[in-house]
């Protein structure tokens, strides 16, 4: 038993020894850049590099290397694998989709290696740091100019009291500043110094929340009569009315709904007929005024984020009353229009004095006519008791 155990250990040691030798031989053939030791001709101080591999073809290995290159400079990349199957070939490729694909335009495949033992293709892709920095700097500067212009325009409308247009420009600037973050992170990663900072995003966010958090709705007055209702709501911001602010009035009865834009002083007035919002019998009249978010969002160029504009969903005022409604007014019948129509003539068929069917010839007349013609062919014999 002891000898068998010793034999098993020797066999295991032999296989491990052979395996390590094969790995050493394979590593001896592989270039340094495949083993992660860098490339002598392309130092990291001047170049950004990417190493990719594939078991399909050198092309897919190069695409994989470009994807690794983009990841190395911290750019947001979405990689989608496209599998093509046909009778002649089966190819798996990687299609890289990114907002900053332009960074790959200067990349080049500088080296490659085929591992015949494992049937793998390796590719070495490089791009100059200087080229990436110049491209990113131009993009960042253009975005900063656009964002600064939106900030000035938003401030101008805010000072003039046009709150909705101010929000539109502030939100456009906020969405535009979101493009800065990946570019600034990439630039700082490539240059290895925090030269740019994304402060516009925070600034626009504070300005938007400062407006949204101070918008409120208030009742101005209400009047209820036998036949109609008069309601007035004002949209306010820091004690000032908001021009063109959209309000929606609705009631659970009869599915009443009406959308109104506030006037210059921020007031919205509706006067629906009482029969639209209440039953003819004694009933509770309840009408609710809320922010018309559907109309409000049409002013903007981007979909609104709930973390910035979600408070507007909570704003509302309600008008409640209990009113005795005169049935003679509430249920007043609608007088139909008098229309004159041509009288319709109906044809009536009367029974004729003489039927339309063939006449039945009387028996005695037939005999008399037969005698007149001298014809005596018919002999009628009657026997009776």
**Torsion angle defined by CA atoms of residues 345, 347, 348 and 350, in that order, rounded to the nearest 10 degrees:** 140
**What pLDDT, on a 0 to 100 scale, did the predictor assign at position 94?**
40
Contact assessment for residue 173 and residue 204, using Cβ atoms and an 8 Å cutoff? yes
**Range picked from 16-20, 66-70, 196-200 for highest mean pLDDT:** 66-70
What are the residue boundaries of the structural domains of the chain, listed by start?
Answer: 14-128, 131-212, 215-330
pLDDT-derived band at 313 (thresholds 50, 70, 90) equals very high
| Residues 168, 147 contacting (CB under 8 angstroms) | no
| Per-residue confidence (pLDDT) for residue 49, from 0 to 100 | 85
Distance CA 196, CA 186 (A): 10
Q: Is the dihedral of CA 27, 31, 36, 37 positive or negative?
A: positive
pLDDT at site 381: 46
Distance CA 136, CA 102 (A): 10
Arithmetic mean of pLDDT, 61-74: 79
Distance between CA atoms of residues 249 and 209, nearest Å? 25
Q: For residue 48, is it left (φ>0), alpha (ψ between -120 and 50) or beta?
A: beta
Supply the mean pLDDT for the chain.
Answer: 74
Query: What gap in Å lies between CA 51 and CA 36, rounded to an integer?
Result: 9
pLDDT at 24 over 50: no
Domains 14-128 and 215-330 share a fold: no
The CATH classification of domain 215-330, taken from the options 1.10.3720.10, 2.40.33.20, 3.30.70.380, 2.60.40.10: 2.60.40.10
Residues 105-146 have pLDDT tens digits of 677 788 888 888 888 999 988 888 888 888 888 888 899 999
Element (H or E) spanning 306, and its range?
A: helix 306-309
Say how far apart CA 318 and CA 256 lie, in whole Å: 14
Split at pLDDT 50, 70, 90, the class of 93 is very low
* Per-residue pLDDT reduced to its tens digit, 248-305: 999 876 678 899 999 999 999 998 887 777 766 655 778 899 999 999 999 999 999 9
Give the pLDDT confidence score for residue 90 in this predicted structure.
Answer: 36
CA 19-22-28 angle, 5° bins: 140
Question: Do the Cβ atoms of 74 and 183 come closer than 8 Å?
Answer: no
Higher pLDDT, 160 or 130: 160
Average of per-residue pLDDT across 153-169: 96
| Candidate from 21-25, 91-95, 168-172, 226-230 with smallest mean pLDDT | 91-95
Beta-bridge partners for 108? 126
> In this model, does residue 149 exceed pLDDT 90?
yes
- Return the CA Rg of the chain: 47
3-state secondary structure 263-302: CCCCEEEECCEHHHHCCCCCEEEEEEEEECHHHHHCCCCC
Q: Please report where in the chains the tokens 């929000």 appear, as a residue.
A: 167
Q: What is the CATH number of domain 14-128?
A: 3.10.28.20
Q: What are the tokens at 357?
A: 């069917």
- DSSP E strand stretches across the chain: 47-54, 78-85, 90-97, 108-115, 120-128, 215-224, 229-237, 240-241, 246-251, 256-261, 267-270, 283-291, 316-323
pLDDT at 13: 47
Terminal alpha carbon distance of the chain: 145
- Transcribe 368-380 into DSSP letters: HHHHHTT------
Can you tell me the distance from the alpha carbon of 317 to that of 221, in angstroms, rounded to the nearest whole number? 12
Average of pLDDT values for 329-354? 54
């Amino acid at each position: 038993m002891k000898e068998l155990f010793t034999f098993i250990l020797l066999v295991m040691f032999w296989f491990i020894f052979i395996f390590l030798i094969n790995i050493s031989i394979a590593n001896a053939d592989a270039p340094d850049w495949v083993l992660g030791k860098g490339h002598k001709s392309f130092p990291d101080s001047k170049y950004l590099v990417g190493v990719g591999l594939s078991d399909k073809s050198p092309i897919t290995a190069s695409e994989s290397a470009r994807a690794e290159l983009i990841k190395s400079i911290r750019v947001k990349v979405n990689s989608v694998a496209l599998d093509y199957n046909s009778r002649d070939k089966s190819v798996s490729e990687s299609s890289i989709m990114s907002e900053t694909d332009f960074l790959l335009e200067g990349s080049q495949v500088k080296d490659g290696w085929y591992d015949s033992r494992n049937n793998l293709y390796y590719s070495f892709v490089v791009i100059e740091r200087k080229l990436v920095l110049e491209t990113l700097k131009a993009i960042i500067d253009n975005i900063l100019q656009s964002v600064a212009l939106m900030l000035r325009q938003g401030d101008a409308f805010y000072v003039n009291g046009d709150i909705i247009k101010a929000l539109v420009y502030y939100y456009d600037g906020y969405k535009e500043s979101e493009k800065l973050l990946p570019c600034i992170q990439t630039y700082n990663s490539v240059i290895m110094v925090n030269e740019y900072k994304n402060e516009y995003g925070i600034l626009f966010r504070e300005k938007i929340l400062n407006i949204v958090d101070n918008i409120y709705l208030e009742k101005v007055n209400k009047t209820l009569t036998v036949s109609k209702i008069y309601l007035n709501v004002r949209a306010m911001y820091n004690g000032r009315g908001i021009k063109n602010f959209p309000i929606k009035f609705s009631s659970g009865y009869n599915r009443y709904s009406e959308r109104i834009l506030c006037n210059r002083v921020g007031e919205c007035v509706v006067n629906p007929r009482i029969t639209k919002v209440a039953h003819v019998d004694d009933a509770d009249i309840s009408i609710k005024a809320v922010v018309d978010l559907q109309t409000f969002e049409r002013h903007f160029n981007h979909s609104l984020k709930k973390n910035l504009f979600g408070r507007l969903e909570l704003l509302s005022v309600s008008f409640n009353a209990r009113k005795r409604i005169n049935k003679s007014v509430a249920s007043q019948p609608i007088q139909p229009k008098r229309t004159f129509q041509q009288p319709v003539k109906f044809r009536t068929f009367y029974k004729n004095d003489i039927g339309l069917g063939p006449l039945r010839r009387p028996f005695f007349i037939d005999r008399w006519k037969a005698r007149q013609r001298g014809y005596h062919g018919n002999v009628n014999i009657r026997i009776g008791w």
